[in-house]
Structure 1
């Protein structure tokens, strides 16, 4: 199978590494606007060759778009205009509703399967690509009823090869959910980094910075060119998640200010429950093991 990857950074490069290793594709074609990144991707063997968009998406079986979401808005309609009738197209963006609406009436809409693999690091570029980045993680497929079943099946198989489980949501559900578990943590990390940098004696603070601070603020190193458009496209739900977060910050601040130590202890102990949730003791999805692809459906 011939696979074209548009965008050879962390996500696109990691997908290329794992799909090549699993034998899922026989030829990997790269489309990369950054010339330096294109050279790096060729040098480390992420792709077999680099082509222009027009050449790269013709006579290929699968097109994977792994670029910032504002660029996907520009590139996706062009790709759908250029592909052959049997080509499958997917994107890896973190915001979906705005994008899906933009191609709702395109004649090749059924060739497109919107996806969001829930994995990544704060690093970027071809050299940031990692084997096994997606293994054991969840990917979201959006509005699958609007995509051709053969195209959905191919994308399901691709994510299986990456070692991922699959959740099915509408684009709106995806944006709402990821606003809390992905977009909010990044917004909070950016705010925390700015708060500490605003301190007059910040150099002393940074000298004292330990593992806890570094792990909390790690996401603030994430690329502005990637995250700024995500916040723009999912503005409504990110604002909602920030309002909820600010409410809980204020509650924590007030009990400290008012010396309400019992309440402060209760808030900390309640927060500790996240350990069990993250360890899967109380999942919100029910896994259906009878399916070849692990499906997730919401509890009623």
Structure 2
């Protein structure tokens, strides 16, 4: 499988690592707007060679686009213009509807499979690429009825090779769901980091910072280049999720302010239920069997 990866950072690089190890990709071609990132990806063996975008997508079997979603608005239509009828194109972006709508009438729309592997870290660049990053996680495929079945099957197989389960959603459902479970946590982490940095005696506070604070604010280290356009493209649903979050923050604040200690304890106990949900005691929270399928094909 001749595979071209556009964007050689955490997601693109980690996919390249696993596709090489599994033998799914027999030849890996890298494309990156940063000459420094391209050279580093080649040096550490993420790809076999570096090409321009035009050369990289010529006569390739699979194109994986793993770049910031604002850049994808420029790159995806160009890639679809360049590819042949047999090439499959998949993107890995965290937003979907804006991107899908952009190419809805493209002559190669059937070649395009919108995807979103739900995994990552706060690090970026080729050196952030990790083997096994996606194992046991969920990948979302969007609007699969608008993609050619052979192209959908190839991307399903790719995610299977990465060790992922697959959820099938509309692009709008994807954006709404990820606003709560991915985009909201990042927005909250950025706000928390700014709140603490705004304290006059912040040096003392940071000296006291322990594991709990560090794990909570970890996402605030995530790249602005990646996350600013995500918030822009999914503005409506992120605002909705922030409004829900702020409502619960206010409720918690008012319990303390008004000395409603019994109610505050109830809120904490209710929040503790998330442990069981995330450990699978309520599987419908994580996996709706009508939309999530474990692939067992060989």
> The TM-score by the shorter chain falls in which range?
over 0.9
Q: Which digits, 9 at most, give the CA deviation of each residue in 1:41-100, with x for residues without a partner?
A: 000000000000000001000000000000011100000000011000000000000000
Instruction: Tell me how far 1:243 sits from its aligned partner.
Output: 0.1
Structure 1 unaligned regions, length at least 5: 296-300
Determine if contact 1:8/1:125 at 8 Å carries over to the other structure. Answer: yes
Taking the aligned partners of 2:213 and 2:37, their CA distance within structure 1 comes to 31
Determine if contact 2:7/2:66 at 8 Å carries over to the other structure. Answer: yes
Taking the aligned partners of 1:123 and 1:190, their CA distance within structure 2 comes to 15
Determine if contact 2:22/2:161 at 8 Å carries over to the other structure. Answer: yes
- Give the match for residue 172 of structure 1: 172
Taking the aligned partners of 2:187 and 2:4, their CA distance within structure 1 comes to 32
Instruction: Tell me how far 1:286 sits from its aligned partner.
Output: 4.0
Count of equivalent residues: 293
- Give the match for residue 274 of structure 2: 274
Taking the aligned partners of 2:233 and 2:244, their CA distance within structure 1 comes to 19
- Give the match for residue 58 of structure 2: 58
Taking the aligned partners of 2:57 and 2:288, their CA distance within structure 1 comes to 37
Determine if contact 2:96/2:172 at 8 Å carries over to the other structure. Answer: yes
Instruction: Tell me how far 1:293 sits from its aligned partner.
Output: 1.1
Q: Please state whether the residue corresponding to 2:283 is helix, strand or coil.
A: coil
| Superposition pairs of residues 59-208 of structure 1, within 5 angstroms | 59-208=59-208
Taking the aligned partners of 1:167 and 1:14, their CA distance within structure 2 comes to 20
Determine if contact 1:5/1:28 at 8 Å carries over to the other structure. Answer: yes
Instruction: Tell me how far 1:11 sits from its aligned partner.
Output: 0.2
Determine if contact 2:165/2:294 at 8 Å carries over to the other structure. Answer: no
Determine if contact 1:166/1:294 at 8 Å carries over to the other structure. Answer: no
Taking the aligned partners of 2:142 and 2:279, their CA distance within structure 1 comes to 25
Determine if contact 1:115/1:142 at 8 Å carries over to the other structure. Answer: yes
Taking the aligned partners of 2:283 and 2:245, their CA distance within structure 1 comes to 22
Instruction: Tell me how far 1:258 sits from its aligned partner.
Output: 0.3
Determine if contact 1:165/1:294 at 8 Å carries over to the other structure. Answer: no
- Give the match for residue 298 of structure 1: none
Taking the aligned partners of 1:238 and 1:192, their CA distance within structure 2 comes to 16
Determine if contact 2:6/2:67 at 8 Å carries over to the other structure. Answer: yes
- Give the match for residue 41 of structure 2: 41
- Give the match for residue 244 of structure 1: 244
Determine if contact 1:11/1:129 at 8 Å carries over to the other structure. Answer: yes
**TM-score, normalised by the number of residues in structure 1:** 0.96
Taking the aligned partners of 1:187 and 1:29, their CA distance within structure 2 comes to 34
Q: 1:4 to 1:60 in 2, by over 3 A?
A: same
Taking the aligned partners of 1:47 and 1:54, their CA distance within structure 2 comes to 17
**TM-score, normalised by the number of residues in structure 2:** 0.97
Q: Please state whether the residue corresponding to 1:134 is helix, strand or coil.
A: coil
Taking the aligned partners of 1:292 and 1:3, their CA distance within structure 2 comes to 24
